[in-house]
Chains A and B, each alone.
Chain A
């Protein structure tokens, strides 16, 4: 039996991860789910967002980027007619600060930590490159969960190249820091001692010969020195990455996949559902976002639009009898009626396509929630509350 409410999910889990392809409204949906949980179900609820729209961030009271959790004031919730039963908190992910925290936590001493933080390679990797974001989002989630301050954490996921990237981030990170590559790169340095390493004569080894030719020995030395410093931490890093991985598999964690009823996002959502199954990760719900209203495909609507399109002049003449001066020009009225009929039919085509795509869904999870299309993008608490009601399937 398929339910249309996220309520059991939000009430029973400690972590709900919202995922889906870019542009489907993941961030807004996650924030709305957290708001609904805090106002309707109670408890201490945190929404961890990655890159919210400015106005959404404002609505949640997140003025500046930073790894600080902020309470959304009850007055702000009451101002839009919500009576909070619990407490709502919001936090934004600061990639750079999270990486630095991680280094500071795992470094054996301050000197090593600051050498790593000051290393240009480290700065390049953490600030510039995409893959580091996927991991750090999961890492931050782990941190927030283990500190035990929240009953429920709702997580927005970073815009990945494809939705499964971040699922693999912890194991990839563990492999990166514990893997062969590091051992290969640092072999010649380990042989000559940990600090002040110099490139020894390893020209006979094809790998170094190649690496040296491609990258130059200076860079190779920078890399090796960076990784040597990192080596003192990598037991901590690997253990941590494995813990993050375990948390994703924990039964207290669940996933909600968000999609619109459009071809490409839906294909990606289905792929994601498939990947979750393959990894034995629980799919808690599928959320269909921005779904056009059902009246666009109703038989009466179709009939009315057809009639209006066929004889707008007759209807316009009938409207003169209403006694409203606005209808005094039947030609103008007929033009407006024909436009309305055409508009209905245009949107009806799209709504029909949505309905077909929905019918074709390969695997329907236990919870299938639908959020209606709203004319405006949502960035205030009132709008979030509206979406939240749709997610809980309450009027």
Chain B
């Protein structure tokens, strides 16, 4: 099931962003949160992998499990499974005291941090419960934006309620996985976006993930956001001129006119042209293989990072989505 990009992009309540490492997933996630806040939404921004870098994109110090406003309208939190487990026990199962009993507390910490699968379900559970609380009027997020697991892990993360459901036949956990699955599967509520760059490995992983999401997940697919698209330096008609500039006689003229650095300028341009070409091939592959909406964001030739860049990405995103 494919949800359209564009106008509806910010109208869902829960957006997951995945992508291969290094493609700018966190930046795009932060830019989405910023854009939504600028459009009047109250946003909860959730960092799942405990790297603590997400708030740097707003030039703010790291946050913990308790959300803190990092930009007007954007509240950021970092997922901590130990805290999520405690909160779950306290709120959902009403076991406030038990979780603090000595050896039990250690066991719970251990379960939360080391037992396979627990981290995934607690993460998704916390995110889903924030959305549900908002729908029921007990929390006031218009939108929850999740900097989710990378392409290799996102399926097991988003599929964890179903995995748990296979294991647990009865009881409160079973019931909770049921409403979580319902919420995650609702195209009016939830979407999964994948961030990529037009390079071979990220494109491979994106294609693989889109296909897996279709067969293994009930979470509605949003769009593929192609980040760092390089500009086309020349039109096809102008290309022969550049090729001719690389020849001996032209080089002599250039050296005489602008100095010996002309070689560096031509070399840089040649590098840019071949990088653009190899990326164009990957863009064509994405277009040919996938029938999901593609959203393009340009490569930013900027010196700094931080809030200014997050804002620039948000502006490009808004322009591209027609928002």
The reply on A264 being an interface residue by CB < 8 A is yes
CB distance from A322 to the nearest CB of B (A): 5
One digit per residue, 1 when the CB lies within 8 angstroms of any chain B CB and 0 when it does not, for chain A 195-228 equals 0000000000011001001111011001000000
Q: Which residues on B sit within 8 Å (CB–CB) of A159?
A: 21, 150, 152
One digit per residue, 1 when the CB lies within 8 angstroms of any chain B CB and 0 when it does not, for chain A 325-367 equals 0110000110111011101101111101100000000000000
Q: Of A53, A131, A293, which contacts B114 at CB under 8 A? A: A131
Q: Which residues on A sit within 8 Å (CB–CB) of B257?
A: 307, 314-315, 318
Q: Which residues on A sit within 8 Å (CB–CB) of B7?
A: none
Q: A215 touching B173 by the CB < 8 A rule?
A: yes
Cβ contacts A to B, 6 pairs, < 8 Å: A128-B156, A162-B49, A296-B268, A339-B233, A340-B245, A349-B303
CB distance from A104 to the nearest CB of B (A): 20
Q: B234 touching A302 by the CB < 8 A rule?
A: no
Known contacts A162-B50, A293-B271, A303-B258; A214/B303 CB under 8 A: no
Please measure, in the bound complex, the distance between the C-alpha atom of A375 and the C-alpha atom of B258, giving whole angstroms. Answer: 26
Could you say which of B67-75, B97-105, B130-138 contacts chain A?
B97-105
Residue numbers of B with Cβ under 8 A of A are 20-23, 26, 49-51, 53, 89, 93, 95, 98, 101, 103-104, 106-107, 110-111, 114-117, 119-120, 149-150, 152-153, 156, 159, 163, 166-174, 199-202, 204, 233-234, 237-238, 240-245, 247, 249-250, 253-254, 256-269, 271-272, 274-275, 277-278, 301-305
Q: Of A315, A324, A343, which contacts B269 at CB under 8 A? A: A343
One digit per residue, 1 when the CB lies within 8 angstroms of any chain B CB and 0 when it does not, for chain A 45-58 equals 00000010111000
Could you say which of A69-77, A119-127, A382-390 contacts chain B?
A119-127
Please measure, in the bound complex, the distance between the C-alpha atom of A207 and the C-alpha atom of B234, giving whole angstroms. Answer: 69
Of the listed residues A120, A129, A130, A340, the one surrounded by the most CB atoms of chain B closer than 10 A to its CB is: A340
The reply on A180 being an interface residue by CB < 8 A is yes
Q: A352 touching B303 by the CB < 8 A rule?
A: yes
Q: Of B244, B256, B259, which contacts A326 at CB under 8 A? A: B244
Could you say which of A8-16, A20-28, A78-86, A239-247 contacts chain B?
A20-28
Please measure, in the bound complex, the distance between the C-alpha atom of A340 and the C-alpha atom of B272, giving whole angstroms. Answer: 9
Q: Of B95, B163, B172, B258, which contacts A307 at CB under 8 A? A: B258
Q: A304 touching B278 by the CB < 8 A rule?
A: no
Number of A-B residue pairs with CB-CB distance less than 8 Å in the complex they form: 242
Q: A340 touching B242 by the CB < 8 A rule?
A: yes
Q: A214 touching B172 by the CB < 8 A rule?
A: yes
Known contacts A343-B233, A375-B275; A304/B269 CB under 8 A: no
Number of residues from A at the complex interface, CB < 8 A: 89
Of the listed residues B21, B174, B240, B268, the one surrounded by the most CB atoms of chain A closer than 10 A to its CB is: B268
Q: B172 touching A295 by the CB < 8 A rule?
A: no
Of the listed residues B21, B101, B169, B242, the one surrounded by the most CB atoms of chain A closer than 10 A to its CB is: B21
Q: Of B152, B159, B240, B261, which contacts A302 at CB under 8 A? A: B261
Report A163-196 residues with CB < 8 Å from chain B CB.
172, 175-176, 179-181, 184
Residue numbers of A with Cβ under 8 A of B are 21-24, 51, 53-55, 120-121, 124-125, 128-132, 159, 161-162, 172, 175-176, 179-181, 184, 206-207, 210, 213-216, 218-219, 222, 260, 262-265, 267-268, 293, 295-296, 298-305, 307-308, 314-315, 318-319, 321-324, 326-327, 332-333, 335-337, 339-341, 343-344, 346-350, 352-353, 373, 375-377, 379
Q: A206 touching B98 by the CB < 8 A rule?
A: yes
Known contacts A54-B204, A304-B265, A377-B200; A130/B234 CB under 8 A: no
Please measure, in the bound complex, the distance between the C-alpha atom of A234 and the C-alpha atom of B253, giving whole angstroms. Answer: 76
Q: B265 touching A339 by the CB < 8 A rule?
A: no
Please measure, in the bound complex, the distance between the C-alpha atom of A324 and the C-alpha atom of B240, giving whole angstroms. Answer: 11
Question: Given A300-B259, A314-B257, 4 other A-B contacts at CB below 8 A?
Answer: A128-B156, A131-B114, A293-B268, A327-B250
Q: Of A124, A181, A215, A336, which contacts B171 at CB under 8 A? A: A215
Q: Which residues on B sit within 8 Å (CB–CB) of A264?
A: 26, 51, 53
CB distance from A321 to the nearest CB of B (A): 7
Known contacts A180-B107, A216-B169, A218-B169; A315/B116 CB under 8 A: no
Q: Which residues on B sit within 8 Å (CB–CB) of A130?
A: 116, 120, 149, 152-153, 156
CB distance from B154 to the nearest CB of A (A): 10
Q: Which residues on B sit within 8 Å (CB–CB) of A210?
A: 89, 93, 95, 98, 104
Closest residue on chain B to residue A294 by CB atoms: B264
Q: Which residues on B sit within 8 Å (CB–CB) of A23?
A: 20-23, 201-202
